[in-house]
Structure 1
Amino acid sequence: MKKKMFSVGLLGLTLLAISACGSSGKADPKEAGPAQDLTPYGKYEEPVEFTIGRGVYSGGSLPEGMTIEDNTGTKYVEEMANVHAKVAWESQDTAQKIALSISTGDIPDVMIVNRQQFKQLVDNDLIADMTEVYEKTASDHLKEIYDSFGDIILDQITVDGKLMGLPLTSIGGQQDLLWIRKDWLEKSGKDLPKTKQEVYELAEEFVKQDFAGNGETVGLSMGTKIAGTYNSGYSLNPIFYANQSYPRQWIEKDGETVYGTIQPETKETLEELSQLYKDGVIDKQFAVRKTEDLSALVSSGKLGMLFYPWWAPYGDIQQAIANDPEADWIPISAPEDEEGNINVTQNDPIGGVIVVRKDFSNPEAIVKSMNLSQDFIYQLTPEAKEFTQQEIPDMKTRWDHILVQVPAQLDFNDITTRIYTALTEAIDDGSSEDLRLDLLPVYNNYEILQKDGPKSDLTAWGDVKARLDGEKASFDERIKKIDVNFFDTTPTMDTAWTNLVKLEDEMFVRIITGEEPIEYFDEFVSQWNKIGGETITKEVNEVVKGQ
């Protein structure tokens, strides 16, 4: 993206017409709007208002008397910078609404878009160059967040040397861990598994000893998205990674960028899993289970091992303990490869792009709002702390990235490590004085469990188990990051990718369940190439080599 972008044909003629006519009939910035103020925290003498299109707030009910336009978070920005936000539209289906906004030319001043929409807007010169605004207006904290990802995050939205938006971040440390029923492990007489074979053997032992009873014990289970997902759970990613197989990732091999799914290492892993299925170690019903069915396996005590990110105790695992107080769970990074590494693919750091309408007179106001929102959410400044104490003295209201003017998910790439370190230091010191406001509940929950017992409050248990045990396991010293060369889309992907992904998912299930022999993998690779995969691979390499 930083040097070359593929032109997107969708809506092309319509967008070109809009570009020529001007967006949504907005006034020329030279004719309207207060003078620009490129300082990170400068306050405008006259109010600056921007309109924003956004998704529907899904964080539960708002505090009484508050709306997404008018709440304590937005008031802080208004008081400190004299910047106001007006919701142009709020939609459950933001992708459809954004497409409609683009096609009709009724574009709000700010939107959060996906990669394809970003390309359309750039190709048709509809959004503002944010290079100078970012350099001069972004706070040190905001810049530190982006810097924690290295060059990869801003480079992807830099076109011809121009920064054309500000990315939402998708943080690291969200890979799948191996969560194990500790009580079952102790009954089995086995040690914590390290290798792939030891994971298989432990799962087999769980089934053999039938710890769930009535022959209902399941060794391993997963969703039908068997590998290639991130930050979602119920996959077998770590098993593939231990074999140097990286499904659905564009990785470097012999100087070329290749698609991980079609490599021999993936075939090898599928053959292993197919045998486990035959042996009854893998759940015989996984191919027909929905997410709620997988949750029920865990909560009902039938599954004693699953791959899931650090935050598993907030859901199904917590419910398993509610149903069986004797249950206990521990997370580890496993399995390791033959060299003792825990392979983890680099995650796509971009969760969306904040774009500003080209004709908007004060794009720096958006960045000011983001600066102040970060300060407010995490109580980073004396001003933010004082304002919060005045507005919500009891400090019980939960504030997140939704209740701000620009609902941007922003955090450091290594935030899991930072949070774990901050919490353990506070616990060791016996004081929460230096903790970020959003971490105080975790510290308080730890204190509750220390006083009343480790499972006296299951909500507290889940919080502490996730933040301490889960996050610690997510940055195991054996972790080896595997670089991913390409996260974007290509022209052929726009038309062929959905069918290719469907074909891939079906192939995984068919081979593991034995519906097709392992030789079917080669047939799949051939078909994948014929219906667009080969062309996409060429397009990807063209982009990667052109960067």
Structure 2
Amino acid sequence: MKSSQAAKHIARLAALMMVTVPVMTACQTSKTASGTGEAGAAAASSSGDALSRYNPVDGKKYSISWLPYETVPVPQDADMVKYYEDKFNVDFDIWNLDHSKVTELFNMRLASGEIPDYNRNAVKMTTLPEYVNQGVLAEVPEEVIKKLMPNVYKKATELEPDWLNFAKVDGKIYGLPILADSALFRTTVVWRGDWLKKLGIEKTPDTLAEFEDALYKIANNDPDGNGKKDTYGLSKSGLQVIFGAFGYLPGFSAHKWQDWFWQERDGKLVYGAVQPEVKDALKLLNKWYKDGVIDPEFITGENTGGYWGLSHAFINSRIGFTGHAQFHHWYSPIPEIKGDKGGQNYQELYKKDPNIANSLVHGLPPLGKDNKRTLFANNFVDAPVVVFGKPLEKEPDKLGKILQILEHNMGSTKENYMTALSGVRGKHWESEDPELNTIRTLPPYDTMTSGDAYGAGTFAASFMTYDTNKHRNQWAYDHKYDVGTVRNKLIGALPSDAKYKAELLKMRDEMIISIITGDKPVDYFDTFVANWNKAGGEQLTKEANEWYANVKKK
């Protein structure tokens, strides 16, 4: 599967190379370019105020081509399109590109000489440099963002000081990275509370030694009471929790976003799987496997199909501890949210036995090396980047108009924020909550498969300026899901990923499995590290640190 991804990446690069010449022409001939804007820019520049040329012209009606994130096509006359056209005195040309093949469709439009003014869907951090080098994207100076999007700028940089650095190419900013609220919290640490109680474990396991004691008892002391030795302490997702106690996370997880995980060590980026502490963790896990504490089917994972966030091994009483998915897949119903049924795993357990569901214990990652806790959290900065068409550099007042729209929708008030996300209050949704933390979609919109049908979300882009999941997030804070979070220090692809990454991941998986199962001795780890470096790891480490130095450069 990873090899096919590498092949797709190479194919995409080839497609991009094919559109280079037409795109460069498009920069000069695109219908978004405007002689009026050029003249206005020159006049403003002569005034000596470099920022004033980005101010929208009062009374001017702008035509803006808009490529949103969407799952179904947005009609040109959708409710929210008309709403914002009237509100901002704008004509929107909505680009409906199938999300499943948005890159290919975007490149085709570029090849025909078209560049959208606003683009929320087709450019990611991995492809940003390619489009910049082809002359597709406009530079957006930081001072302009700060001036025209003050609230978004303030909140985003508080959450992630390097926010805009992630959209830099050769020291210039070419977009606004999306921010994801799932980054607030780490992945899960969940125990079968009824089993712990039956086994006489009153205190939630906290140290690595306490984890080991509980996991051995779950495996050996018949917590399900069926008289058979058919329970195990943990499976695949639980391994990461244990690795974390040693300080470094090697991947080989249940979730792809955890596989290529880089951490900082002595000011440099290092790949978790080749750190010496991982060898110590593998030695312990090999012992646990020999002793029957780790599910012998751990290689295939805990999910056997269907919705990815479900741990069937846990739901079916095969294991008593899991690190699968995220807290919102496990939380219990929240009274403040009308009709809330809790997370998907909670619901499945509730169907089997409400007592099991309500006994779940949410713990902390084990206290380990240097008295630290270490477990995955998503990055605040997500892969997509909001970017703007190159012709806007000749029409900076239109770029300013777009930034003002984003600031109004995403940074001015929570009411405006919810309008951009969900539609017009009183028509598309209503809320009895004065803080708008919960809303109720109104008929007939509540039966639609996607809000895209009436344009909800078309003019939104997440920069985490407002909390739209306050009650659920508070549940996570109450259960300490913010404790022990470690985020991947590497975001986006490295230049040589397509050449080396797939094979390096395969090497890592084989090493971890063979050492845990005893097919190879623990000392094989040293051979793996040497081979990993020779097979491209050394080159990727070099590239990762070159990228990191650029991001940290102020």
Q: Does 1:520 align with 2:524?
A: yes
Alignment-derived partner of residue 297 in structure 1: 313
1:219 to 2:213 alignment: no
1:95-110 residue pairs with structure 2 within 5 A? 95-101=103-109, 106-110=114-118
- Secondary structure of the corresponding residue to residue 287 of structure 1: helix
**2:355 is the counterpart of 1:326:** yes
Give how far 1:194 is off.
Answer: 0.6
Confirm whether residue 91 of structure 1 aligns to residue 127 of structure 2: no
SS state of the match for residue 505, structure 2? helix
Once the two structures are TM-superposed, the CA of residue 53 in structure 1 deviates from its matched residue by 5.7
Query: Is the CA contact (8 Å cut-off) linking 2:262 and 2:272 kept in structure 1?
Result: yes
Distance in 2 (alpha carbons) for counterparts of 1:298 and 1:220:
9
- 8 Å CA contact 2:262–2:489 kept in 1: the answer is yes
Q: Which amino acid aligns with 1:396?
A: R
CA distance in 1, matches of 2:492, 2:133: 15
Residue 253 (str. 1) matches residue 265 (str. 2): yes
Question: Of 184, 187, 192, which aligns to 2:198?
Answer: 187
Shift of 1:10: 5.0
**TM-score, normalising length from structure 2?**
0.74
Distance across 2 between alignment mates of 1:48 and 1:538: 45
- Determine the C-alpha separation between the residues in 1 that align with 2:400 and 2:456: 20
Distance 1:516 1:103 in 2: 53
Alignment counterpart, residue 29 of structure 1, candidates 18, 30, 33: 33
Per the TM alignment, residue 543 of structure 1 is displaced from its structure 2 partner at its CA by 3.7
1:243 to 243, 246, 253: 246
Q: Does residue 1:146 correspond to 2:156, yes or no?
A: yes
**Aligned pair 1:403/2:456, yes or no?**
yes
Question: Could you give the per-residue CA deviations for residues 389-441 of structure 1, whole angstroms, max 9, x where no partner exists?
Answer: 355457521898983224533315xx8xxx6xxxxxxxxxxxxxxxx6x65xx
Aligned to 1:462: none
CA contact (8 A) 2:187 2:323 kept: yes
**1:442-491 deviations in whole A, cap 9, x for unaligned?**
5xxxxxxxxxxxxxxxxxxxxxxx54443323455xx4665765434332
Q: Pick from 163, 169, 181: which aligns with 2:173?
A: 163
Task: Tell me: CA distance 1:79–1:199, structure 2 relative to 1, closer, same or farther (3 Å).
Answer: farther
1:337 aligns with 2:368: yes
* Contact preservation (8 Å) 1:38, 1:133: no
Aligned counterparts, 1:7-18, within 5 A = 13-18=17-22
Aligned ranges 1:259-298 → 2 under 5 Å: 259-289=271-301, 291-292=303-304, 295-298=311-314
Alignment-mate amino acid for residue 66 of structure 2: T
Q: Give the distance between the partners of 2:109 and 2:475, measured in 1 at CA.
A: 45
Query: How far is 1:348 from its partner?
Result: 3.3
The structural deviation recorded for 1:167 is 0.8
Q: Which amino acid aligns with 1:357?
A: G
Deviations 1:173-193 (A, max 9, x none): 231231112222211111211
Aligned residue identity for 2:318:
K
Superposed displacement of residue 494, structure 1: 3.3
Deviation at 1:240, TM superposition (A): 1.5
- In structure 1, C-alpha distance between the alignment counterparts of 2:323 and 2:537, rounded to whole Å: 29
In 2, distance between residues paired with 1:311 and 1:103? 42
Give the equivalent residue in structure 2 for 1:388.
425
The answer to whether structure 1 residue 349 and structure 2 residue 380 are counterparts is: yes
Partner of 1:51: 66
Structure 1: distance between partners of 2:527 and 2:281? 17
TM-score, normalising length: structure 1? 0.74
CA distance in 2, matches of 1:483, 1:366: 31
- Displacement of 1:527 in angstroms is 2.0
Q: CA RMSD in A?
A: 3.8
SS at the partner of 1:292?
coil
Q: Name the structure 2 match of 1:307.
A: 323
Q: Give the aligned residue type for 2:63.
A: V
CA positional deviation for 1:151: 2.2
Over residues 133-170 of structure 1, what are the superposed CA-to-partner deviations in whole Å (9 max), with x where a residue is unaligned? Answer: 42332151x22331222321211212344321011113
Deviation, structure 1 residue 97: 3.8
Partner SS, residue 379 of structure 1: helix
Worse-superposed segment, 306-315 or 213-222 = 213-222
Structure 1: gaps of 5 or more residues = 1-7, 58-65, 223-233, 420-435, 443-465
Partner Cα distance (2:93, 2:301) in 1: 44
Distance across 1 between alignment mates of 2:460 and 2:318: 39
User: 3-state SS of the aligned residue for 1:92?
Assistant: helix
How far apart are the structure 1 equivalents of 2:418 and 2:546? 50
1:367-378 map, 5 Å = 367-374=403-410, 378=414
2:511 corresponds in structure 1 to 507
CA–CA separation in structure 1 for the residues paired with 2:284 and 2:75: 51
Secondary structure of 2:98's aligned partner = strand
Equivalents in 2 of 1:298, 1:353: separation in Å?
A: 37
Match of 1:81 in 2: 88
Query: Once structures 1 and 2 are overlaid, which stretch shifts more, 235-244 or 72-81?
Result: 72-81
Pairing partner for 2:346 from 286, 308, 317? 317
Instruction: Decide which moves more: 351-360 or 16-25.
Output: 16-25
1:366 aligns with 2:399: no
Q: Report SS of the residue matched to 1:268.
A: helix
List aligned pairs for 1:396-545, cutoff 5 A. 396-397=440-441, 403-406=456-459, 408-411=461-464, 467-475=473-481, 479=483, 485-545=489-549
Q: Which residue of structure 1 lines up, in the alignment, with residue 434 of structure 2?
A: none
**1:118–1:265 distance in 2 versus 1, CA, 3 Å:** same
How many pairs align? 471
Q: Deviations over 1:270-298 (max 9, x none)?
A: 22112212211111112134633663223
Structure 2 stretches lacking a partner, 5+ long:
1-11, 42-51, 251-259, 331-342, 432-438
Question: Tell me, what secondary structure is at the counterpart of 1:145?
Answer: helix
- Cα distance 1:506–1:94, how it changes in 2: closer, same or farther (>3 A)? farther
* Pairwise CA distance, 1:80: 2.4
Cα distance between partner residues in 1 of 2:111 and 2:480: 43
CA distance in 1, matches of 2:58, 2:86: 9
How many angstroms apart in 1 are the aligned matches of 2:270 and 2:522?
21
| CA deviation after TM superposition for structure 1 residue 56, in Å | 2.1
Native 8 Å contact 2:24 2:134 kept in 1: no
